Amino acid sequence: MPNQTTDLFYGMMGTRVIDTHIGGRGVYFRGGERVSGTGTSICWPMVFLDRQLIRTGGLGGDPAALDEIAEVFDVAAVEVYRTPAEIPPEFNGPNAGCGVIVLWTRQGGSGDDSVRS
């Protein structure tokens, strides 16, 4: 039984859950690490909650605090889009190249009680 929202992402193909430098955990997708002369940056996915953009994502910066955005017991479904080719137009945006996570809550009316990827 998951205790936090990020627990839902453990074992999902192509998904990484890491402890962050700001505390808490972050989620990103395989290929999301970018190495440059100044070190490694992570390409954080965009995050939507019940169709509302919560975090724009992008290279560097801080991850979305998924465990604070939604309580795990409120999450009805999770949609994961790892590449721009997978992303529906309604969830596309300037940082969609880093992927997109869509969380649906029971209050948000997803109508589906499954976790999808």
Instruction: Using the predicted structure, report yes or no on whether residue 98 has a pLDDT greater than 80.
Output: yes
Higher-confidence residue of 7 and 94: namely 7
Which of 29-33, 34-38, 42-46, 60-64 has the largest mean confidence? Answer: 42-46
- In sequence order, what are the residues at sequence separation of 6 or more whose Cβ sits closer than 8 angstroms to the Cβ of residue 38? none
Which of left, alpha, beta for 58 (phi over 0: left; psi -120 to 50: alpha)? left
pLDDT at 50: 96
* CA distance linking residue 111 with residue 117, whole number of Å: 16
29, 47 contact by CB (below 8 A) = no
Indicate whether 33 pLDDT > 90. Answer: no
Task: Supply 30's token pair.
Answer: 């395989």
Task: Give 6 or 117, the one with higher predicted confidence.
Answer: 6
pLDDT score for 115: 47
